[in-house]
Amino acid sequence: MKILVCMKQVPDTSEVTLDPITNTLIRKGVRSIINPDDKAGIEAALSLRDEIQNSEVIVVSMGPPQAEIALMETLAMGCDEAYLISDRKFGGSDTLATSTILAAALKKIGFDLIITGRQAIDGDTAQVGPQIAEHLGIPHVSYVEEFFYSDGGDEGKAMIVMRQFEDRYHKIRVKFPCLLTAISGYKEPRYLTVSGVFDADNKEIKHFGYEELKEHLDESCIGLKGSPTKVVKSYTKEQKSQGTVLKGLTNNEAVEAIMARLKEGHII
């Protein structure tokens, strides 16, 4: 099985600040990391490879040359190959243009299963994964909490997927080829090993630019000119207050206090 994982190198948002004039992220001097949802997806792919014979995990990332650092980390985790999608013509791409470019790269590499993170912490759109699936014309399941491989018997090979909801999950059977978007809590990423780091140093990161992908791309649909999304303003999340803590109450008193607060807020 050929498992492709899309990965993004992102700024560590715990350290990010915004430029008050341009309303854009100040990335200078900020540590870059592998997007947490993507890292969980990488671990899920590696676990699946361990289960299925003759499988390989290939990581694909679109970004500037420095994204090679993150790709080297994925190779050290145990991934078999890594591709960097980078070209000046791709600069300024929004989620639609980015998904168009990534879909072209994935089509060129070939795949049975694609795993992406649910969303990137520097954008929080959760759009790229589903858009890639639409470009490729394959089924997808988002917000994946857990999945299992099934040889299927007469029904054919498929993934059995648990899709997360607020208070439950949907159990879905999806045939190959397909795309899944993983949430960060799904798999705890494995630690790097000394042997893994040495192995990664002996592997080559492959590169795709516009020239390698142009047979699958319309130049008017990539980069800044191919991006219909315009960012008006960016802002950090507001910190929520702790709220009121009720202590020393019996169960009945706690229920009465909560009901009173709900009535006060016209919730009930």
Give the domains, in start order, of the chain with CATH numbers. 2-221 (3.40.50.620)
252: number of Cβ within 10 Å: 8
Does residue 167 carry a pLDDT above 60?
Answer: yes
Query: Is 30's pLDDT higher than 80?
Result: no
Q: Is the pLDDT of residue 208 over 70?
A: yes
Sign (positive/negative) of CA torsion 260, 262, 264, 267? Answer: negative
State the pLDDT confidence band at 1, using cuts at 50, 70 and 90: very high
All residues at 6 or more sequence positions from 42 whose CB lies less than 8 Å from its CB, including other chains:
5, 7, 34, 57, 59, 74, 77, 79, 115, 189
Instruction: Compute the distance between CA of residue 61 and CA of residue 68 in angstroms, rounded to an integer.
Output: 9
At 166, the pLDDT band (50, 70, 90 cuts) reads confident
* pLDDT at residue 234 is higher than 70: no
The 8 Å CB, 24+ separation contacts for 50-55 are 51/149, 52/1, 52/149, 54/1, 55/1, 55/2, 55/3
pLDDT tens digits for 115-164? 999 998 887 788 999 999 999 999 999 999 899 999 876 678 899 999 98
pLDDT score recorded for residue 155? 72
Radius of gyration for the alpha carbons in the chain, expressed in angstroms and rounded = 22
Residue in 47, 63, 35, 49 with CA at minimum distance from that of residue 1: 49
Tell me, what's the pLDDT at 168? 83
Largest CA distance in the chain: 70
Task: Record the pTM.
Answer: 0.81
Average pLDDT in the 88-100 region? 94
